[in-house]
A and B are shown apart, each in its own frame.
Chain A
């Protein structure tokens, strides 16, 4: 460790005590500054020793069944409906946040008897935390947990790229709120659709396609 001794931002980020702008700025540094990123990783690795003290608690058998059903669709088997219901519950919980914080958003339908399978992907921007994406075909909403850090004057923009290979703008990603993105009807989102994130000028790409670097891209799959 040869970095500035008084700069403890990496430690503060790893410990999780930063909030708001400070946290956003620190996460931006993880993207821009490889030395800082490895500093954060160094702290995370050391702080992990504290996990030893956390009391283990067995998750419920029901949750275990839902989790161990992951990958069923990868083998082209029918997903147990429990897994789907569980994820619908998760989506409902996520959407509930939005209902509370964004009264202008449409409320999610109550848990349906047979919800459509959710699509799932994990976007992995370089040197940043993975971003999970859930797409609910029933409401055509895409929920991303978190967003990549960008510099001032920039936005992270999401794109959906279907079988035609043409990127369709799907919305801007923000750290705050975690509002689900409503996907326009003309944008096809099915298993195999690629989600991509590009860094664009504030307000998003001035063109109909990405103009900035693509920091993450991954295909959606049923879970």
Chain B
């Protein structure tokens, strides 16, 4: 694997961008990250496709490449380690059984895997009803040496447009969409958390999504 370990700092976007973005800023990645992306991406695609042929060595490799990130996603939504572990086990059971259905042309392998993790985590905590309200910041523990450098190399060019477009939203719109995404919560829960009526939260997110769509539809 030609992946290097790298940490991407959380983006701290300013609400307004008076000047046009450079392409690398628009994609939300440092330009230095782009060099070995295709190789890393190909490795992941190969591991996923081979897993689809029930190649257990490939499944191990896929696990090594993706488990910390997928666990991070589950933990963020479930907020409880035990629940997140149950979900992660289910996620890899699905990956093991369904990897054969992955179509490389349709979406990036990481987006495919991460979507499974997020949807399973959301289903899980919604099936359980209200989840406990542990403070979010106390949940994540940094993974040590095997921390993955999936970041910039995981998404294709089209998929990287989002960050630049998020920067163009108002601060409240961006906050609402990000919180909904990361916490996996509904309009009503989101409205509760931010102390506004549900209708306000709905129109805030819808306006944000509308602007995102316009921006994402724009050809670079």
Contacts and interface: CB of A to CB of B under 8 A. Distances in A.
SS class, residues of chain B in contact with chain A: helix
Contacts of A12: 205-206, 209
Nearest to B91: A67
Interface stretch (A49-57, A160-168, A184-192): A49-57
A48 interface: yes
Interface stretch (B17-25, B34-42, B144-152): B144-152
Contact of B162 (A49, A68, A130, A132): A49
A158 B196 CA distance: 42
B188 A19 contact: yes
Contact of B10 (A48, A53, A87, A132): A53
A48 B70 CA distance: 12
A63 B89 contact: yes
Given A67-B92, A70-B93, A54 B115 contact: no
Given A56-B69, A66-B89, A8 B206 contact: yes
B122 A8 contact: no
A96 to B, nearest CB: 9
A71 interface: yes
A58 B181 contact: no
A15 B94 contact: no
Nearest to B96: A70
Interface residues of B, number: 87
B184 interface: yes
A53 B124 CA distance: 22
A181 interface: no
A32 interface: no
A11 interface: yes
Given A16-B122, A58-B143, A46 B184 contact: no
Interface in A151-205: 177-178
Nearest to B122: A16
A195 to B, nearest CB: 13
Interface in B74-111: 75-76, 82-83, 85-86, 88-90, 92-94, 96-98, 101, 106-108, 110-111
A115 interface: no
A56 B7 CA distance: 10
A78 interface: no
A71 B213 contact: no
Given A17-B186, A51-B69, A145-B123, A44 B111 contact: yes
Interface centre among A53, A55, A71 (most CB of B within 10 A): A55
Given A15-B209, A58-B71, A63-B89, A122 B115 contact: no
A89 B87 CA distance: 12
Interface centre among B69, B71, B151, B182 (most CB of A within 10 A): B71
B181 A71 contact: no
Interface in B146-166: 146-148, 150-152, 154-155, 158-163
A138 interface: no
A105 interface: no
Contact of A17 (B10, B63, B162, B180): B180
A135 B28 CA distance: 44
Given A52-B152, A54-B73, A15 B89 contact: no
Contacts of A100: 129
A16 B186 contact: yes
A106 interface: no
Nearest to B178: A50
6 A-B pairs closest in CB distance: A48-B111, A56-B68, A49-B162, A58-B143, A19-B186, A11-B209
